[in-house]
Structure 1
Amino acid sequence: MPALLRRCSSKSLVDKCKRTSNASELDSLESEAFDDGRSRRKGAGYKRDSQFSLLSDADDGNKDMGLSEKDLQRDEKKKASVTLPQEEVRRSYRKMCNIEGVSPCGRFARQIDDTVADVSHSMLGPRDVKCICVALSTNVTIKDLDLSGNDLSGKGALYLSEALRENTSIDEVTLEECNIDHPGLQALCGVLLDMKPLKSIDLSKNKFGTRQADLIAEVIKKNDYIENLVLSGNEIDNVGGTSIGKALGSNVGLRRLDLSWNHIRLEAASVICSALKLNSTLEELDLSWNGLSEDGCRALGRALPHNHTLQRLDLSSNRISPFALNALVPGLLKNDTLKELRMCMNPLTTVGAIAMLQCFEKAKDTQMKELYLMDIPVNHEFLDALENLKKVRPMKVHHREPNRKKITQIVKDRTLKDYDPAMILFEYMKQENMRLIDLFRTFDTDSSQTVTKDELREGFVTINMPLSDEALESLFERMDLDGSNTIEYDEVKVGYRSTMGKMRCSSRSQAQTRTEEDKTFFLKQLKKLVHKALGDKRKLFEVNAKRRSSDALKERREEKLLELRGKRRQRQISIIAVFEKTLAAEDLKKKILERLEEEK
């Protein structure tokens, strides 16, 4: 209430304030008092200095409130000075905080003398921002103001717009995620349309839609001072994007435009990309996380050859497929200023990435220095294409690492056929705890003190390690040193020494390149295979033995059964014979009796 009474510039408004207790009516009276004070000053021909507007608004009507002459003289001295010392700025800030009934922001008070005032995420509301704006209206040191993460809403944006009208030193303003509504943005755009020399403004994450995009488009079209405009993370759709694209074509001051994380697709994407053909100042454009797709790439490909200022372009995550890339690449190759291109998180595939490198390798006019292809799968063919590109131009390509996961070679499991037959033979002798002479006698089935080729073949079959014809011929030729077509015991001893000494497999080239670990593994595998073959042989022998025993048992059972059947048959025959004899005796008896009766 005291603050509102101080703002009232007429006795009628003062009386209304004293009679009113409703909060909503007080808010309406506050805005009425603000407008009434401004109109009275304009009607009286009052020309305030550009550094005292909000301060004079706060103190307007002091005479009507019956303030002392000492206070009035002090205010006149403040107005007479061109600039206030920073200590006076702090006093005015604290005074305004007392009037509004809010706690001073310590971060802002400590940065009043600095060129950067960062009060982001300080939980400031509209009244806190109003107090800061009063101090800003008389401050000449702060050039960069950051109010990100605070709830400015409409009133806070209105207070800030008034401060920006009167402050000529602020060049950069950051209003990221400040919940600015349409009236607040309208007030800010009104300041910018008055050709306020502001170089950079960040309006990201404020949920701006079509209506707000139209206001921003008007600023882009008419304001030539803004060099950096950030609109990332809003809800600018096709209609709003189309408005911004049309305004971008006539802008002559903007150097960096950030439209990332919006809903720009189809027609809007085409209009924005086509605007590059007319724009002559833009150096950096960020369109990442939108939906350019094939239509936008086609428009961008047509516009880039006519643009001679763009140096950095971000097209990350824009649904650019290899087909869309075909429409974009010709424009990239003909552009003579673009130095940095970001194509991350697009479905380009490895083939598309390789095609881009090959096109840049053959291009003559391009000035590309950096290419970002992160999150796109690459392989060794891509690396080869990159090496060829670096031989032609010093271009840095940022890409993900190729798949370096160790690919295990698919090796067919070894069998006994892959080993030297002589090694198999002597390994069998070792595992069976046989002497060399015992091995020789096993193969010498006819006890002729020599082993023929047929006996060698049958011997390997006997030990369950059959050889192929080629392996048998090779082994026999190596063992038959004198060429007699037979193997003698002395020749077996020589073959045993040479085989166990060299420890080689059938392929000499593989043996030469094999390391010690490979040799150890090689011998272990041979032992396992021979052991398995012997185990299979024993199992087969046991199975055959069981089968033979079962067959013998069946034969004995069948013999017994036949014997029982024979005995039973003989018994039946004897019974039949006895029965027949009995019948014959009875018939004979009947005949005798009949004859006796006849004789009688």
Structure 2
Amino acid sequence: MTAVRSTMATPDFDNDLGDSDDYETDLELEEPEVVQQEYDPVSEMTRLYRSVCRRTGVVPASTFLRHLTASELNMDHYGLGPLGTKCIATALKMSTFIETLSLEDNWMTGEGGVYMADMLKENPSITDISNRYLEELNLSGNEFSEVGGGFMGAGIGANETITALNLSWNHLRLKGVFALCRGLRSNNTLQWLDVSWNGFDDEGASGLATVLKYNEVLTYLDLTNNRISTRGAMKMAKALCINKTLHTLKLGKNPIGMDGSLQLLKAVRSNEESGMHVLDLTDVLLSQEFLDLYTVVQQERPHFSVVYGGVGQDLGWMVNDKKHLKRDPMQVFQDYIYKNHTRVITVFQSFNRGDRDRVTREAFKKGIKTAKIPLAPHEIEHMLDVLDSDGDGMISYGDVMAGQKELFKKKREEEWKKYTEVLEERRRRRQVKEKLEGAMDVLDKEPRSAEAWIRALQRMKHKQMTPSRSSTRSGSRLGLGRSDSRARSPSPAGTTDETKQVTRTKTPQLMSVVGNVWKKAHPN
């Protein structure tokens, strides 16, 4: 077979196209642009929090989710428990918004303390948004005990942002306290620490004293009710001889004794560079020597004050000045206002010309002395403690008005109590009168019972009662008068038997009624 050769020419595409521009097009193949999504810390925190909640079987807290971007977060008394604390602590590691966190009374226990300590160690590294850190943390009432306290100490040592920490009511003792002291040695930011109502004991006080010798940041330390004795107070006193920055030290409700309190005051006086303003010794036994030295220290340092008061004080000058023992300082302040025909706001503003709304404790104290309001030093301190309820050292006009309202409320309660007592006394007297009238009716009908009753009254053991006068008065008052000869003549035998018979029947009831009447009329 002869092959058939195609006569169709094969097109030369390359030649046809050539370099002609007639075939140019606007369609160009471009690589798709990848859109970079901006990092959202809130979404990431929400995702992480929900994820941890699912794994642990915890119901997410809507309050926490709603306040992720807030500067303050308060979740007191939510009953988080250790697992709920774990979920929140995990999410808070990424937080760059929350500065103040309060988780009081959430049953965290030691396990929850571990999670919170781990959170404190984290250092946020996000720099593309405002870099803000957790500054205030309230973890009081969570029963951290030794385990939680140990990890919390490590967390405090690693944290570089927190300035205020509340660990009160957490059963901190022994190893937990020592770990906390080690953490405080490494921390350079904490200024406000509340570890009241724990079990620091003298050993813990010694550890804190070592911290205070070298710490140059801490200004507020609350060690109220920590079983610290005189030995622990002596250790703290040695630290106060060196420390320059501590502003407020609270050691109230500790058995430090008169020697311990005196050494603390001597330490403050001996340190010329001391920054101490307030030494709280509430319910601590003080001596007259302490009070004498305190007067001298106040003259040398007008800004320094000691808070004291309560039971068991050895204050001889207070005992001798009996008129100052039971009066209310707020009532004295109010009486001064009434007597001088002025107003609270006028007196308050005269205490501090610079700030019309707030004054310091010292300015308030000086104003009371300048105005010559008749208050003793301990009464002024008591009044300031009541007004300065938040312990910030400042007294506001609102605090004074609140104290005045409390005074009026107390007065109304006292007046109501007196009124109810008057009503009760009237009711009692009315009942006594009714019983006495009933007894008189019975005696009028049965004269021999009356004679038996009179003789019985004469035998009653009331030494201040004169028998002859009482019997005469009783008989005449009840309308049972007899001639003197008959009343003084001996009773015949028959009368005696009959009297005994009456006594066995109705006289016991009669004696009970009239005897009670007599006792109420003659209580002594």
Alignment correspondent of 2:241: 277
User: Matched residues in 1 for 2:44 and 2:258: separation?
Assistant: 59
Residue in 2 that maps onto 1:240: 204
Determine which of 300, 310, 326 is the counterpart of 2:276: 310
Which residue is equivalent to 1:335?
A: 301
8 Å CA contact retained: 1:369, 1:394: no
Instruction: Give the letter for the 2:313 counterpart.
Output: P
**Structure 1, gaps ≥5 residues long:** 1-72, 359-366, 372-384, 407-531, 549-600
In structure 1, how many angstroms separate the alpha carbons of the residues matched to 2:194 and 2:483? Answer: 87
Q: 1:156 aligns with which of 112, 119, 122?
A: 112
CA, structure 1 residues 340+544, in 2 after alignment: closer, same or farther (shift >3 Å)?
same
Q: CA 1:135/1:220 → structure 2, altered by over 3 Å: closer, same or farther? A: closer
- The residue type paired with residue 256 of structure 1 is Y
1:97 pairs with one of 53, 63, 71: 53
CA–CA distance in structure 1, aligned partners of residues 148 and 252 of structure 2:
27
- In structure 2, do the counterparts of structure 1 residues 280 and 98 end up closer, same or farther at CA, with 3 Å as the change threshold? same
Check whether the contact 1:297–1:328 (CA below 8 A) recurs between aligned residues: no
Q: Match for 1:319: what amino acid?
A: L
Residue 193 of structure 1 is matched in structure 2 by 157
Select the residue among 484, 488, 491 that pairs with 1:543. Answer: 484
Deviation at 1:394, TM superposition (A): 12
* Counterpart check, 1:128 vs 2:84: yes
2:286 aligned partner, one-letter code: I
Map Cα deviations across residues 120-163 of structure 1 (whole Å, 9 max, x no partner): 22221332222212221222211111222223334433322332
- RMSD of Structure 2 on Structure 1 (CA): 4.5
Contact 1:306 1:335 in 2 (8 A): no
Q: 1:335 to 1:354 in 2, by over 3 A?
A: farther
Quote the offset at 1:232 in angstroms: 0.8
Matched, 1:219 2:189: no
The answer to whether the 8 Å contact 2:133/2:161 transfers is no
- Distance of aligned partners of 1:337 and 1:540 in 2 relative to their CA distance in 1, 3 Å threshold: same
Question: In the alignment, which of 214, 218, 235 is matched to residue 250 of structure 1?
Answer: 214
Letter in 1 for 2:233: A
Q: 1:546 to 1:220 in 2, by over 3 A?
A: closer
Which string of whole-angstrom CA distances, capped at 9 and with x for unpartnered residues, describes residues 448-500 of structure 1? xxxxxxxxxxxxxxxxxxxxxxxxxxxxxxxxxxxxxxxxxxxxxxxxxxxxx
- Counterpart residue type for residue 314 of structure 1: D
Shift of 1:209: 1.4
Q: Quote how far apart the aligned CAs of 1:191 are.
A: 2.9
Q: Is the 8 A contact 1:232 1:261 kept in 2?
A: yes
Residue 25 of structure 1 corresponds to which residue in structure 2?
none
2:50 matches 1:86:
no
Distance verdict in 2 for CA 1:177–1:326, change over 3 Å: same
Do the aligned residues in 2 keep the contact of 1:84 with 1:138 (CA within 8 Å)? no
Any conservation in 2 of the 1:238–1:263 contact (CA below 8 Å)? Answer: yes
Once the two structures are superposed, residues 556-598 of structure 1 have per-residue CA deviations (whole angstroms, 9 ceiling, x without a partner) of xxxxxxxxxxxxxxxxxxxxxxxxxxxxxxxxxxxxxxxxxxx
1:495-574 mapped onto 2 (5 Å cutoff): 542-543=483-484
Measure how far apart 1:219 and its partner are: 3.1
Q: Is the 8 A contact 1:205 1:232 kept in 2?
A: yes
Deviations 1:160-202 (A, max 9, x none): 2332223461001111122224343333322322352210111
TM-score of the aligned structures, taking structure 1 as reference length = 0.46
1:195-237 Cα shifts (integer Å, max 9, x gaps): 5221011111111113222222223333221011010110111
Seen in structure 2, the aligned counterparts of structure 1 residues 181 and 311 have a Cα distance that, compared at 3 Å, is same
Alpha carbons of 1:332 and 1:244: their partners in 2 closer, same or farther (altered >3 Å)?
farther
Partner Cα separation in structure 2 for residue 397 and residue 192 of structure 1:
34
Tell me the SS of whatever aligns to 2:133.
Answer: coil
> SS of 1:117's equivalent?
strand
CA distance in structure 1 between the aligned counterparts of 2:487 and 2:158, rounded to whole angstroms: 110
Distance 1:370 1:305, change over 3 A: farther
Q: List aligned pairs for 1:319-358, cutoff 5 A.
A: 319-322=285-288, 325-326=291-292, 329-339=295-305, 341-349=307-315, 351-352=317-318
- Cα distance, 1:84–1:295 mapped onto 2, change above 3 Å: farther
State how far apart, in whole Å, the 2-side matches of 1:274 and 1:295 are: 14
C-alpha separation in 2, matches of 1:396 and 1:388: 10
- What is the alpha-carbon distance in structure 2 between the residues aligned to residue 151 and residue 166 of structure 1? 26
For the residues of structure 2 that align with 1:353 and 1:225, how far apart are their CA atoms? 46
Per-residue deviation, residues 293-313 of structure 1 (Å, max 9, x unmatched): 111122122122245422223
Structure of greater Rg: 1
1:351-500 correspondence to structure 2 within 5 Å: 351-352=317-318, 368=362, 387=374
Aligned partners of 2:288 and 2:316 also within 8 Å: no
Contact 1:174 1:202 in 2 (8 A): yes
Amino acid at match of 2:91: A
Equivalent residue letter for 1:286: K
Aligned residues, how many? 327
Alignment deviations for residues 275-321 of structure 1 (CA, whole Å, 9 cap, x no partner): 22222111122111111211112212212224542222321112335
- Name the counterpart of 2:258: 294
Distance (whole Å) between structure 1 residues aligned to residue 319 and residue 384 of structure 2: 11
Tell me which amino acid in the other structure corresponds to 1:186. G
The alpha carbon displacement at 1:324 in A equals: 5.2
Judged with a 3 Å threshold, the aligned counterparts in structure 2 of structure 1 residues 326 and 134 are, in CA distance, closer, same or farther, namely same
What is the percent sequence identity of the aligned residues? 22
Give SS of 2:374's match: helix
Partner residue in 2 for 1:35: none
SS in 1 for 2:73: strand
TM-score (norm 2): 0.52
Conserved? CA contact 2:158–2:186, under 8 Å: no
User: In the alignment, is the contact (CA less than 8 A) between 2:86 and 2:112 conserved in 1?
Assistant: yes
